[in-house]
Amino acid sequence: MKSHHKLSALFGMLAFAALVGAPAVNAQTYPNKPVKIIVPYPPGGTSDILARSLGQKLGESLGQTIVVENKPGANGNLGADLVSKSPPDGYTLLLADIGALAISPSLYKLSFDPATDFSPVTMVAYSPHILVVHPSVPVNNAQELITLAKSKPGKLNFAASSVGSAPHLAGIDFASKAGVDWAYIPYKGGAQAITDMAGGQADVMFNGMLATYPHVKSGKLKILAVSSSKRMSAIPDVPTVAESAGLSGFQTGSWQGVLAPPNTPKEIVARVSAEMTKILNTPEMKERLAAQGAEVSTNTPEQFSTFIRDEKARWAQVVKTANLKLE
């Protein structure tokens, strides 16, 4: 009997050792097969462009194929949910933006919490919104826009790229801080909103620089300010909203980041984070992002985790103030 007990004790110890050793062994051999980056939006958007630029370089540095898969649906929530329930082995990553990671929890009943149900890897990029008006709107800066809006309550139309999107909430945040009231026209995406703005069906909008600035250059839209905390090097003559409207500390925009499923071994998260940070901070990637009106913005997994929690709380407050409900 004794030998039987000794054997089972030995097996127990071996099983325990295998369990304890498993993540370390995986981390040492990682990656030994292709890695998937899930983008929870359709092809062609900022997150998709970033994932493909980053994926190619990451593949070279890790010595494995990186496959970018688009899983759109429910404003990014479908793809994010999929990754939150994927095996925590570093072979499925998520590249998502402020919408899915910070705004959705206040607007939808989600089956996951972006602040707790992932292993954050690193932030990737930040791109501000630009505040634009149709050229027929008789203002030349954000302060004049506030004065005009106050003189005509509810008369100016704000083009919202989609209900509950970051540009829509930027408009709500601006209006509540400036004490103005305008009507929101919801669209099914930024492209449609810009077309109507350029055509004069709407008066004012916040929207991503990449999609919107070409219309400023062609004269179809007039730029008043940029929503970053400091002026952007790509458009140094354009003041920030904080400067131009006298709203100190005002900052909105979109950001993207990479996350792994919850409980992914720390060594794997640290390795992917280090590789991505190195790639993103090369002159080539910085120039590529600058051409799209974005700035490289990387941080540690711990810093990114704190950032997501703070952003989630901040936008929950804006949604609550606006009493925004999604049908």
Sequential DSSP letters for 263-287: T--HHHHHHHHHHHHHHHTSHHHHH
Whole-angstrom Cα Rg for the chain = 23
Say yes or no: 83 and 53 in one domain. Answer: yes
Overall domain count for the chain = 2
φ, ψ for residue 90, nearest 5 deg: 85, 0
Cα distances (angstroms) measured from residue 210 to each of 4, 34, 290: 69, 31, 10
Q: What number is the average pLDDT over the span 30-40?
A: 97
Q: If you average pLDDT over residues 178-183, what whole number do you get? A: 96
pLDDT score recorded for residue 16:
53
| 236 vs 141: CA distance, rounded Å | 15
Length of the chain: 327
> pLDDT by residue (tens digit) across 106-135?
999 999 999 999 999 999 999 999 999 999
Please state the pTM of the whole predicted model: 0.83
Q: At which residue do the structure tokens 């990656």 appear?
A: 31
Residue 198 lies in a domain: yes
Cis peptide before 114 (omega within 30 of 0): no
- In the block, which residue shows the tokens 């970033």? 50
Cα→Cα distances 270→41, 119, 126, 141, Å: 26, 10, 21, 44
What is the distance between the alpha carbons of residues 76 and 78, in angstroms, rounded to a whole number?
6
Instruction: Please identify, among 213, 245, 277, the residue that sits at the C-terminal boundary of a domain.
Output: 245
Residue at which a domain ends, from 245, 265, 283: 245
If you average pLDDT over every residue of the chain, what do you get? 91
Parent domain of 213: 129-245
CATH number, domain of 154, equals 3.40.190.10
Mean pLDDT, range 248-275, rounded to an integer:
96
